[in-house]
Amino acid sequence: AQSVTQLGSHVSVSEGALVLLRCNYSSSVPPYLFWYVQYPNQGLQLLLKYTTGATLVKGINGFEAEFKKSETSFHLTKPSAHMSDAAEYFCAVSGTGNQFYFGTGTSLTVIP
Amino acid sequence: DTAVSQTPKYLVTQMGNDKSIKCEQNLGHDTMYWYKQDSKKFLKIMFSYNNKELIINETVPNRFSPKSPDKAHLNLHINSLELGDSAVYFCASSQFQGVTEAFFGQGTRLTVV
């Protein structure tokens, strides 16, 4: 079975500061991992994904994430936060079972 | 063109009513999903269809009935609505189950009064 844990339901950073959103997964098979962003009153938009290959994955809007199998982690980072990054972020894992398992989400606030 | 479209975007209805939410995807995907997002933003899968066939049916009251007339459409019908059904419902689609990402619709905010 697969599951995802997102540490920190709320994260606040200053504009221009590093963004770090944490995600740990549990999977009995090699996982496929995803980060989604949800802006207010909108659907989920894919930021980036890891399936196979390079463990450092670059996504849209300057975000990237690193798959670390030994730590079962897939943390999302961005070097410099912008006001427009304020949103809800979801980590997800998929594998056998044919469904996506989402974390509980992390609300990112960017302080001007 | 919107890849995954849901209608309506907002739905306000009284307890006990029956309502439907429609979903269409123009991505050519063969798998479609319904998710429920509660007030705490938690996303829970409700159903998954692959080529019009029900694949996943999580613990959802049988008042909820999905219908897939073809692989581009997955509608959600809800009978005897209850206050606890108030949530945002998202439709999503993907090409291969669990192999590629899911594409989401804009959501339908259901409010039961």
Round to whole Å and give the CA distance between B6 and B11: 12
What is the reported pLDDT for A27? 78
* Residue B110 clears pLDDT 90, i.e. is over it: yes
Spell out the residues 6+ positions from residue B41 whose beta carbon is closer than 8 angstroms to its own: A38, A88, A104, A105, A107
In three state form, how does the secondary structure of B47-108 look?
A: EEEECCEEEEECCCCCCEEEEEEECCEEEEEECCCCHHHCEEEEEEEECCCCCCCCEECCCE
Interface test with B, best of A27, A48, A57, A99 (most B CBs within 10 A): A99
Round to whole Å and give the CA distance between B39 and A38: 14
DSSP per-residue codes, A27-38: -SS--EEEEEEE
In this structure, the number of other CB atoms found within 10 A of the CB of residue A83 comes to 9
What is the reported pLDDT for A96? 59
pLDDT tens column, B16-65:
999 999 999 999 998 899 999 999 999 999 988 888 788 777 788 999 99
Give the model's confidence band at B97: pLDDT under 50 very low, under 70 low, under 90 confident, else very high: low
Residue with tokens 């998954």: B48
In three state form, how does the secondary structure of A40-64 look?
A: CCCCEEEEEEECCCCCEEECHHHCE
Nearest CA in chain A to B55: A98
Please state the rounded mean pLDDT for residues A72-81. 97
Q: What are phi and psi of B89, to 5 degrees?
A: -110, 130
Side-chain-side CA neighbours of residue A71 (13 Å): 10
* Residue B95 clears pLDDT 90, i.e. is over it: no
Strands B19-25 and B4-7: antiparallel
C-alpha torsion B53→B57→B60→B63, nearest 10 = 20
The token pair at B74 is 């997955």
What is the reported pLDDT for A98? 59
CB A79 within 8 A of CB A18: yes
What is the reported pLDDT for A31? 82
What is the reported pLDDT for A104? 95
Interface test with A, best of B41, B42, B90, B91 (most A CBs within 10 A): B41
Contacts of B103 in chain A (CB under 8 A): 46
Report CB contact under 8 Å: B40, A104: yes
Minimal CA–CA distance to A75: which of A2, A29, A27, A8?
Answer: A8
Contacts of A4 in chain B (CB under 8 A): none
Strands A44-50 and B87-94: unpaired
